[in-house]
Amino acid sequence: MNTGNNHSALPLSSFVKAKRKELGLTQHDLADKAGVGLRFVRELERDKPTLQKDKVNQVLVLFGYELGPVPINRNKLIHEKG
């Protein structure tokens, strides 16, 4: 479902960085407000492949979001692996 904003198609790292900047927050500000470490925010914005889901949600809740399933094009996925 598209809610009319362009954030729905962004990778998580780009989404968080864009939302943080929209709100005029530094990485340090975001870490403080979300109750996570600065290192975690940096790793999140650098698209580290392994992150704690609960901490990601601590950040996303500040923007009115949470992690959830996202539909993918399964045909494309099958052809890329084959």
Question: Does residue 1 lie within any of the structural domains?
Answer: no
Question: Does residue 27 lie within any of the structural domains?
Answer: yes
Tally the domains of the chain: 1
Looking at this protein, which amino acid is placed at residue 71? Answer: P
Burial (Cβ within 10 Å: 0-12, 13-18, ≥19) of residue 30: buried
Give the C-alpha separation, 39 to 68, whole Å: 23
Question: Does residue 77 lie within any of the structural domains?
Answer: no
Give the pLDDT score at 81.
62
Range of the domain at 20: 6-66
13-38 per-position pLDDT tens digit:
999 999 999 999 999 999 999 999 99
58-81 per-position pLDDT tens digit:
999 999 999 999 888 888 667 766
Question: Does residue 81 lie within any of the structural domains?
Answer: no
Q: Domain with 19 in it: what CATH number?
A: 1.10.260.40
pTM over 0.75: yes
Which tokens go with 62? Answer: 């500040």
Give the C-alpha separation, 54 to 59, whole Å: 9
Q: What length is written for the chain? A: 82
User: What's the gap between Cα 26 and its chain centre?
Assistant: 16
